Amino acid sequence: MKIIKIIDGRVINLDKAKFLTELKNHELSLLIQLINYQEVFWPNGKFEQNPAGIEKLTLTLVDIKEAEKRLERFAPYIAKVFPETQETGGIIESRLVKIASMKQKMEQDFGKPIPGDLWLKCDSHLPISGSIKARGGIYEVLKHTEKLALSQGLLTMDDDYSILDSDHFRRFFSQYSIAVGSTGNLGLSIGIISAKLGFNVTVHMSADAKQWKKDLLRTKGVNVVEYESDYSKAVEEGRRQADAAPSCHFIDDENSQDLFLGYATAALRLKNQLQELKIAVDENHPLFVYLPCGVGGGPGGVAYGLKQLFKESVHCFFAEPTHSPCMLLGMMTGLHDQISVQDIGLDNLTDADGLAVGRPSGFVGKIIEPFLSGIYTVSDERLYRLLKDLADSENIYLEPSALAGMIGPVWLAGEASDYLSKHALSEKFSHGTHIVWATGGSMVPKEMMEKYYQKGVN
């Protein structure tokens, strides 16, 4: 039987609401704000300054390094078939750029200083698919590719993998299929790399996926199946169809450890970039990282990798739309993927299509529980204003989802400063570094970007 309760005029599904009795007072009031689509900041009560458990997790630093080695083996192939990656030798990586003018703009608008330096990690401009999904998505397809080719004795790990660019290999891979469910960007990444290798690839797209992404994939020979419902449904259908076909590999955004590891390699790369830029990260120079969160694999993988490398010197925060705060809800209630934003009466409708996810990953929230610092929510209107401000101040154009991280330093410098005092960071804050993870945008068509910009104008 469904038990329903009205809180603040909103219908709540109380089948899931054992948690209501367990929530602390401040969390209950936060829940009411969530129900009303207000912007909130949630400090993770289970956060440990120095999480002892991180070494005992099933995924380790060794796994991340192994993933990085695999990407290095594929680099000659990537450089050959995607010439835009030649500059980095076939390594798919983005720049870290200082955005001092944007920082100034935010300081003016919010009327307070933001101590520390503000940087943007430009995954928006990653080659091949222009979003953070070019990390996890492409990694998982490459891992699957390697496994198939090795097991059939067609490849050895000492080969130059650029031999994969041949009709012989494409014919071989065409016997296999790959499927994925996506709000858009994961589909782009999986579709482009899989089609290039010769796989039969099907992308199950949720209703919020943009038309241009579907069109682009079709021009590359990808099967695109469209759904009228949201992301969870597209994933479910994709999984069901793939399960019925033994030669099909389903990329499971809600549960995949390979995706997660692909994202996590970003941490190794970032560490090198910080060293090259002579940016200190240590006990006296804290690093704050702000990551837009959908199902959680991307931000979770990056945060996990950073935590392995920088331990208590790094502080990771996730950002979600006010209409889709699935990770916040899952972690705060401890129910993880057993609760969706629809269960508390939210509509999961947001223009931040990469983040339009109503139910979080089944494993990410549990892994990051001891080391995620907190999660905050952002309204769509604010995303558009930040989009315009970044374009005006830095001439960098991002898709709406990718702006979600930007407001994090403002929270810490103001209403969420408790976090700093609680963890003895107040004094060190001005020697700190903020990194806003810009997760997508460079492939957005110009007319569409112009519309986004206009929405931020008033």
Ligand X SMILES: *Cc1c(COP(=O)(O)O)cnc(C)c1O
Query: Does residue 132 belong to the site contacting ligand X (CB under 6 A)?
Result: yes
Query: Does residue 116 belong to the site contacting ligand X (CB under 6 A)?
Result: no
Q: What count of other Cβ atoms lies within 10 Å of the Cβ of residue 434?
A: 26
Residues 90, 127, 198, 294: which binds ligand X (CB under 6 A)? 294
Residue 198 or 365 having the CB closest to ligand X: 365
> Residue 439 in contact with residue 368, Cβ under 8 Å?
no
Residues 106, 440, 443, 444: which binds ligand X (CB under 6 A)? 440
Residues 12, 114, 178, 293: which binds ligand X (CB under 6 A)? 293
Residue 404: CB minimum distance to ligand X, A? 7
Query: Does residue 126 belong to the site contacting ligand X (CB under 6 A)?
Result: no
- 455: its two tokens: 């929405």
Residue 274 neighbours by CB under 8 Å, 6+ apart: 96, 281, 287, 433
How far is residue 69 from each of residues 62, 93, 264, measured CA to CA in Å? Answer: 11, 15, 13
- Strands 10-13 and 4-7 come out as antiparallel
Residue 187 or 409 having the CB closest to ligand X: 187
Residue 312: CB minimum distance to ligand X, A? 24
Contact stretch for ligand X (CB under 6 A) within 17-25, 58-66, 213-221, 288-296: 288-296
Query: Does residue 292 belong to the site contacting ligand X (CB under 6 A)?
Result: yes
Residues 94, 177, 185, 232: which binds ligand X (CB under 6 A)? 185
CA dihedral sign of residues 205, 210, 213, 214: positive
Query: Does residue 402 belong to the site contacting ligand X (CB under 6 A)?
Result: yes
315 in helix, strand or coil? strand
Residue 408 neighbours by CB under 8 Å, 6+ apart: 288, 290, 317, 319, 376, 434, 436
- Exposed (0-12), middle (13-18) or buried (19+): which is 294, by Cβ within 10 Å? buried
Residues 90, 262, 298, 405: which binds ligand X (CB under 6 A)? 298
Residue 25: CB minimum distance to ligand X, A? 29
C-alpha–C-alpha distance, residues 344 and 34, integer Å = 9
Residue 130 or 432 having the CB closest to ligand X: 130
Residue 285: CB minimum distance to ligand X, A? 27
Contact stretch for ligand X (CB under 6 A) within 12-20, 367-375, 394-402, 407-415: 394-402
Q: Could you tell me how many residues make up the chain? A: 458
Contact stretch for ligand X (CB under 6 A) within 70-78, 150-158, 297-305, 445-453: 297-305
Residues 348, 401, 433, 442: which binds ligand X (CB under 6 A)? 401
- Exposed (0-12), middle (13-18) or buried (19+): which is 323, by Cβ within 10 Å? buried
Please choose, from the candidates 425, 448, 444, the residue with its C-alpha nearest in 3D space to the C-alpha of residue 374: 425
Residues 238, 286, 354, 365: which binds ligand X (CB under 6 A)? 354
Beta bridge partners of 12: 5
Query: Does residue 296 belong to the site contacting ligand X (CB under 6 A)?
Result: yes
Residues 200, 232, 256, 439: which binds ligand X (CB under 6 A)? 439
Residues 116, 181, 187, 297: which binds ligand X (CB under 6 A)? 297
Residues between 406 and 435 that touch ligand X (CB under 6 A): none
DSSP state of 162: G
Where are the alpha helices (H) located in 126-228, listed in sequence order? 133-151, 167-173, 185-197, 211-219
313 in helix, strand or coil? helix
Where are the alpha helices (H) located in 220-296, listed in sequence order? 231-243, 257-276
Residue 281 or 438 having the CB closest to ligand X: 438
Q: Given the rule CB under 6 A, which residues bind ligand X?
A: 131-133, 185, 292-299, 354-355, 399, 401-402, 439-440
